[in-house]
């Protein structure tokens, strides 16, 4: 079955149950199914063919979701693109995708954010979508009576993957256009459901802790769970959220466009272990390579990169399909293994712990430093709002650490005080040599630090 089959089933089982809420529009499952069927029939009549790749702007609307599901029903492969993408860029991608063919069973082409390199089109199968949904249902307790506030872009796995279990179970998705309007975000939680949940990237959690802590705390009895992912969340923010929502399950999830949803950890467990991402979910397996890198197996993996007619290169390594190099023009289901650049370890209980990214590690005089560890320690300093640790050239050690710091309103950077704070948390070689106050840290839409931006020597 596909997600669209589940929507059709739910239209029979729960015809009057609200499927999607957006900008005051309430679309029931019977209404959603009727609109999808009508649109799919029109697309097929217009000549849409099996396997045809179609680009859509991922607007936060019911119409977009109807189109997204309808193109699947019509047999097309959907490439959801950023809603604000310039028209010339949209047409360029559509033109580039047009001549490509994809394996049978493909559903989507999702573009990566390209924080450390060129953005790539990742092919996702219908089977991977179902496996992602079942992983989330099993791992986080999605249920039929849940209303989930989806506030991220609907062209990336962070938000799309939440629609899958909701549509599978006959639950409710409440679509909010980002966090530009905090009042609108919090208003979404007034929906009359017994249980509410949401997904927030770490940067959004930090913003809500600063500007909406009281409103978050007021949701303690209604908030079933909050998931975070896409980037590392600091220990300080984890602890603050646990204090505000003492009975809410707070999940830190390991996932990516290429791997799908892999593992999750409820850090509101009394231990609040930073960097812990839990055990692999039901359709996933984790391998730690000899180099300490995370590799993933299971049904949630991508099929490959679009246009890759050699072998599917994942972070510089050739992924394997059924024990052989994956030739893209061969009809196949999914990769056997996806190798990542994330560094991690499995503890005695089988819990995954993220220790950094191979691409981000800074070599300081022979010592390897994960910048995320330095950033996490700095974020625990009371006056620090945000920060990024970057390498700079050094005449003796080759590279030295520099910390760019965003201070809270009305505060100025006290380099000595911050360095003394860091000395209580880090080894000596991890203490930055240089400090600079900046207005902001460059991040992507999903809260990841845009480290590619800081490769510019002028920084």
pLDDT tens, residue by residue, 238-256: 999 999 999 999 999 999 9
Tens-digit pLDDT profile for residues 300-358: 999 999 987 543 433 334 343 333 333 232 233 446 899 998 889 999 999 999 987 77
Average pLDDT, integer, range 352-377: 84
β-pairing, 121-125 vs 260-266, is: unpaired
CB-facing half-sphere around the CA of 178: CA atoms within 13 A: 12
Residue, of 202 and 113, whose pLDDT is higher: 202
Chain centre to alpha carbon of residue 194:
26
Among 311, 347, 352, 342, CA closest to 328: 311
Task: Show the tokens assigned to 393.
Answer: 């050239």
Highest mean pLDDT among 67-76, 177-186, 313-322: 67-76
Average pLDDT, integer, range 179-184: 90
Task: Show the tokens assigned to 457.
Answer: 């020597």
Count CB-CB contacts under 10 A for residue 221.
Answer: 8
Residue, of 135 and 395, whose pLDDT is higher: 135
Range with the poorest average pLDDT among 130-139, 188-197, 323-332: 323-332
CB-facing half-sphere around the CA of 174: CA atoms within 13 A: 20
The DSSP-derived string for 285-307 is EEEE-TTSEEEEEETTS--EETT
Vertex 293: Cα angle to 288 and 295 (nearest 5): 60
Decide if 453 contacts 445 (C-beta within 8 A). no
Report the length, in residues, of the chain. Answer: 459
Average pLDDT, integer, range 351-375: 84
The pLDDT assigned to 310 comes to: 40
The model carries a pTM of 0.81
Decide if 408 contacts 383 (C-beta within 8 A). yes
Decide if 329 contacts 309 (C-beta within 8 A). yes
The pLDDT assigned to 62 comes to: 97
């Amino acid at each position: 079955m596909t997600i669209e089959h589940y929507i059709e089933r739910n239209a029979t089982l729960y015809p009057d149950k609200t499927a999607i809420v957006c900008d005051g529009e309430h679309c029931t499952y019977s209404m959603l199914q009727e609109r999808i069927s009508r649109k799919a029939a029109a697309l097929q009549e217009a000549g849409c063919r099996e396997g045809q790749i179609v680009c859509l702007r991922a607007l936060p609307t019911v119409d977009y979701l109807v189109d997204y599901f309808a193109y699947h029903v019509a047999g097309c492969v959907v490439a959801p693109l950023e809603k604000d993408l310039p028209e010339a860029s949209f047409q360029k991608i559509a033109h580039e995708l047009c001549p490509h063919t994809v394996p049978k069973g493909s559903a989507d082409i999702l573009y990566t954010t390209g924080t450390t390199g060129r953005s790539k089109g990742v092919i996702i199968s219908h089977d991977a979508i179902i496996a992602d949904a079942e992983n989330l249902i099993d791992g986080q307790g999605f249920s039929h009576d849940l209303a989930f506030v989806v506030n991220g872009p609907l062209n990336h796995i962070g938000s799309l993957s939440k629609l899958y279990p909701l549509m599978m179970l006959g639950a409710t998705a409440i679509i909010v256009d980002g966090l530009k309007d905090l009042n609108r975000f919090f208003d979404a939680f007034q929906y009359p459901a017994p249980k509410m949940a949401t997904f927030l990237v770490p940067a959004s959690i930090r913003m809500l802790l600063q500007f909406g802590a009281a409103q978050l705390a007021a949701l303690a009895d209604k908030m079933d769970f909050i998931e975070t992912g896409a980037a590392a969340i600091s220990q300080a923010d984890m602890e603050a959220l646990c204090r505000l929502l003492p009975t809410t399950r707070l999940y830190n999830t390991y996932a990516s466009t290429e791997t799908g949803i892999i593992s999750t950890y409820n850090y509101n467990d009394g231990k609040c272990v930073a960097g812990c991402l839990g055990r692999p979910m039901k359709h996933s397996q984790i391998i730690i390579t000899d180099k300490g890198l995370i590799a993933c197996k299971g049904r949630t993996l991508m099929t490959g990169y679009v246009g890759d007619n050699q072998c599917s290169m994942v972070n510089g390594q050739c992924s394997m399909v059924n024990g052989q190099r994956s030739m893209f023009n061969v009809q196949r289901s999914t990769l056997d293994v996806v190798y990542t650049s994330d560094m991690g370890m499995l503890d005695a209980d089988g819990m995954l712990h993220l220790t950094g990214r191979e691409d981000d590690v800074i070599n300081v005089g022979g010592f390897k430093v994960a910048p995320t560890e330095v950033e996490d320690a700095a974020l625990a300093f009371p006056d620090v709002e945000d920060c990024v640790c970057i390498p700079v050239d050094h005449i003796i050690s080759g590279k030295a650490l520099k910390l760019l710091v965003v201070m809270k309103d009305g505060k100025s950077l006290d380099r000595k005080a911050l360095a003394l704070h860091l000395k209580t948390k880090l080894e000596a070689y991890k203490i930055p040599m240089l400090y600079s106050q900046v207005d902001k840290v460059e991040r992507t839409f999903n809260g990841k630090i845009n480290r590619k931006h800081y490769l510019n020597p002028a920084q």
